[in-house]
Amino acid sequence: MSTPANAGRAPRSSRVRRTIAAVLLGTTVLTGPFLIANQSTAAAAESALTQNMLSQNAPGSFADLAAKVSPAVVNVSTTQQAKAERGTPRMPGFPPGSPFEEFFRQFQDQFGQNGGPGGDDQSEGPSEGQPRGKVGSLGSGFIIDAAGYVVTNNHVIDGADEIKVTLQDGTELPATLVGRDAKTDIALLKVKSDKALPALDWGDSDAARVGDWVMAVGNPFGLGGTVTKGIISARGRDIHSGPYDDYLQLDAAINRGNSGGPTFTLDGRVIGINTAIYSPNGGSVGIGFAIPSNIAKQVVAQLKENGHVERGWLGVKIQEISPEIAESVGLSQSKGALVAEVTPDSPAAKAGVRQGDVILAYGGKPVNTLRDLTRRVADTKAGDTVDMTVVRKGKETTLTAHIAPLPAEQRMAAAEGTGPAAESAVETVKGLKLAPLDGAARSRLGLGEGVKGVVVTSVSPQAGDLPVRPGDVIVKVGDHSVTSPAEVTKSLHEAEKDGRKAVLLLVNRGGNESFVPLKLGKA
């Protein structure tokens, strides 16, 4: 449907009437003309400033930049043997119902790979449960070293039997996998070429600001080298794809097939690796995510040297500091990482870190969020010594930890607890019905003998929105361990007498411990 050239414009007569009305309105007040003149001058000055900023920061064309960097951007194609799975597979690393999980599932169904804005499948779909034969997919990558090292996303090459890199001039080169890191979704490939290969340089993603111009280059939908431009829309995005999420959000058009491709600053340096998009329909809606270069280059350096990534390990389970928790532990701001659990014989335990401590700084750098601590610990080399600033009972102290290598991940069994606990010695306080943690309750909740505390058997609807639920075990109230409902009641009443507005409860839920703030002052 075409739109007339003058569609949306008012008729000339009505525009004239509005103009006249505006002039008349301006002259009905004695100071009106002066105000209008001053406003016009200010508006003109602001417009001139804006134009000056645009002329300095926005290029008239991205052509020179595209010509400079595009030769080092490649297409990555893979083939693999696969079988169709029965049922709907879970996408690892994404919570059920996540829009990213649904997008990755659509990608797998359509293109035969797990991943972000991945590639283009050339195979035909077989009947369920039957061999699929060879499945192909296309993604993007870029040459980071003239020796032939190519960076891409792990999900682009995951499960591939063969990997091929295609240069801008059409040259096809077989690639070998040097190493990959699923936690950051980065893979490093190696190709051999008889001619010199162009290579790109890393930029400084920490220096990138919201609003900065960027340009993305990739292979959307298998079409070949494609350039799009936009700005950095946000920083530090957590899309729940892994423990080290710290994405740059971009509004440059990124689609399937762009995965693994680079995003550039205006000086032609790689600021990020395009990895995922938010999309209700599978296409770009202007919300794309790129791995920051300062994370990527450390991972790539380790993959190049060792073929794998070795991360530091502190040995704590941490949680966010909410305003209620901050108030409960005597902090003026909701910053830091609350230690919910310390692993026995870990670097944290040996350093003297305790459950309930708040880590405010690590290695001399402030810890404002959980990801600050997670990323910095991961970037620390095993064997390094690091000082931490910790708040304990309202006082700051410095602890020194000797960081160890991250051990193999252990699976923890969690059991859902249902049914009422023993009714003996039951008490009700703050809308919580409490009972002792006896043998029968342990069996129902799937808890071992090492867990001590008081069971929450029910929560009063009149108590409002409380942070605990039936089946939780209250282990501590503030700094006091509790083993009976009476001790919980006593500790809460003492906190109220001290004038506290909230108190921290250490709660064991399904075998996992965490702190939750309970507001006081209500019956």
Q: Is position 387 annotated as part of the catalytic site?
A: no
Q: Is position 185 annotated as part of the catalytic site?
A: yes
Amino acid 264 reads F
Asked if residues 66 and 217 have their Cβ atoms less than 8 Å apart, the reply is yes
* Distance separating alpha carbons of residues 299 and 297, to the nearest angstrom: 5
Q: What is the pLDDT of residue 320?
A: 84
Asked if residues 76 and 152 have their Cβ atoms less than 8 Å apart, the reply is yes
* Distance separating alpha carbons of residues 268 and 259, to the nearest angstrom: 19
Q: Per residue of the chain (523 residues), give pLDDT as tens.
A: 433 333 333 344 444 333 323 223 222 233 344 333 344 555 555 555 555 554 556 678 899 999 999 999 999 998 877 554 444 444 444 444 444 555 555 545 544 443 455 444 333 334 444 445 566 678 999 999 999 999 999 989 988 889 999 998 899 999 999 999 988 899 999 999 988 899 999 999 989 999 899 999 988 887 878 899 999 998 888 776 666 778 899 988 888 888 899 999 999 999 999 988 776 666 777 888 999 999 999 899 999 998 988 888 999 988 888 888 888 888 888 899 999 889 899 999 999 999 999 999 999 999 988 888 988 898 888 889 999 999 998 889 999 999 998 876 432 222 233 333 333 356 788 888 888 887 777 777 878 777 888 998 888 776 667 788 888 899 988 888 888 888 888 888 888 878 788 888 888 887 788 888 888 764 4
3-state secondary structure of 394: coil
3-state secondary structure of 15: helix
* Distance separating alpha carbons of residues 209 and 206, to the nearest angstrom: 8
| Integer-rounded Cα radius of gyration of the chain | 29
* Distance separating alpha carbons of residues 363 and 365, to the nearest angstrom: 6
Closest CA to 218 of 250, 279, 260, 276: 260
Residue listed under structure tokens 């990801």: 371
Q: What share of the chain is helix, strand, coil (3-state, %, to 5)?
A: 25, 30, 45
* Distance separating alpha carbons of residues 449 and 435, to the nearest angstrom: 17
Asked if residues 489 and 427 have their Cβ atoms less than 8 Å apart, the reply is yes
Q: Is 198 exposed, middle or buried (0-12, 13-18, 19+ CB in 10 A)?
A: middle
The runs of H, that is alpha helices, within 62-153 are: 63-69, 99-111
Helix count and strand count (H, E) for the chain: 11, 27
* Distance separating alpha carbons of residues 232 and 247, to the nearest angstrom: 11
Residue 257 phi, psi (nearest 5): 105, -15
Q: Which helix (H) or strand (E) holds 263?
A: strand 262-264
Calculate the alpha carbon distances from 255 to 69, 197, 227, 299, 467 in Å.
19, 26, 12, 24, 40
* Distance separating alpha carbons of residues 350 and 501, to the nearest angstrom: 34
Q: Is position 155 annotated as part of the catalytic site?
A: yes
Closest CA to 100 of 355, 338, 279, 345: 279
Choosing from 77, 137, 259, 328, the catalytic residue is 259
Choosing from 77, 121, 137, 155, the catalytic residue is 155
Q: What is the pLDDT of residue 409?
A: 47
Looking at the chain, how many residues does it have? 523
Q: Is 19 exposed, middle or buried (0-12, 13-18, 19+ CB in 10 A)?
A: exposed
Q: What is the pLDDT of residue 222?
A: 76
* Distance separating alpha carbons of residues 165 and 151, to the nearest angstrom: 11
SS3 of 176-237: EEEEEECCCCEEEEEECCCCCCCCCCECCHHHCCCCCEEEEEECHHHCCCEEEEEEEEEEEE
Choosing from 158, 181, 185, 472, the catalytic residue is 185
